[in-house]
Amino acid sequence: MTQKNSKKTPEIMTDLRKDIVRMPSVIREASGIMIFGKRIKSIIFTTDIAIIRNTDADAVIAVYPFTPHPAITKSIIEAADIPVFSGVGGGLTQGSRSAYMSMFAEAQGSLGVVLNAPTPVKTVKMVAQVVDIPVISTVTSVYTPIDEKLAAGVKIINISAGKDTAATVRYFRERHPDLAIMATGGPTKASIIETIEAGANAITYTPPSNGELFRRKMEHYREEEKGK
């Protein structure tokens, strides 16, 4: 006898955990990227530990506009209960420091390391030689040279090209049919769908800030007080 609800996913939740940051459900339409047996579709872009601990994302991409530091990487990985892709430089931070940061990130439990778009091929090679986790290279436009970086050891590209992201995904997908591509999906359901249809396997999503989430919570509390 077939169970009517056999294809429905049961959800376990408590009152204390129900206010999580949920990823747009449309991201489930992506194929995902299989990394060491884990299928990654939704990737939250934040370094806020409170948000990382309260999200339904499959993984977190922890990159930030400062020199990568082991203390930051360690704190995020220890706090996270989902896989972490750790930023290891590539712009101002290059060469042996990026390689050392990558080794540290892997030792702490990162699922992958992320290099900035300007990273020279020499640094890509140094990182790829010392880690056994995927090296991810950020792409900011169709003009970003990736062929040499792929040959040097990059396994995934992370496309972040603003309003041109979907077009950039399409450009690289046409040239690399089997390449693993993660990309920013933008703020709307339509932009996420466009990015997936262009060829992105996984979507990175920027959540509301801690301040914005707190503002919403305070408004809710004030409305409750009015009703008493």
**Mind listing the pLDDT tens digit for each residue in 46-87?**
999 999 999 999 999 999 989 899 999 999 999 999 999 999
Q: Report the predicted TM-score, pTM, of the whole model to 2 decimal places.
A: 0.90
Does residue 66 lie within any of the structural domains?
yes
CB 182 within 8 A of CB 136: yes
* CATH code of the domain covering residue 156: 3.20.20.60
Q: Give the single-character DSSP code of 206.
A: P
Residue 1 pLDDT exceeds 50: no
Does residue 40 lie within any of the structural domains?
yes
Does residue 131 lie within any of the structural domains?
yes
User: Which run of H or E residues covers position 168?
Assistant: helix 165-175
Q: Model confidence over 141-175: pLDDT tens digits?
A: 999 999 999 999 999 999 999 999 999 999 999 99
Does residue 19 lie within any of the structural domains?
no
Does residue 15 lie within any of the structural domains?
no
Q: How many domains does the chain have?
A: 1
Does residue 218 lie within any of the structural domains?
yes
Does residue 87 lie within any of the structural domains?
yes
Q: Quote the longest CA-to-CA distance of the chain.
A: 65
Does residue 47 lie within any of the structural domains?
yes
Q: Model confidence over 175-203: pLDDT tens digits?
A: 999 999 999 999 899 999 999 999 999 99
Region for 95 from its dihedrals, namely left if φ exceeds 0, alpha if ψ lies in -120 to 50, beta otherwise = left
Number of H helices, E strands in the chain: 8, 10
Can you give the residue range of the structural domain that contains 152?
Answer: 25-226
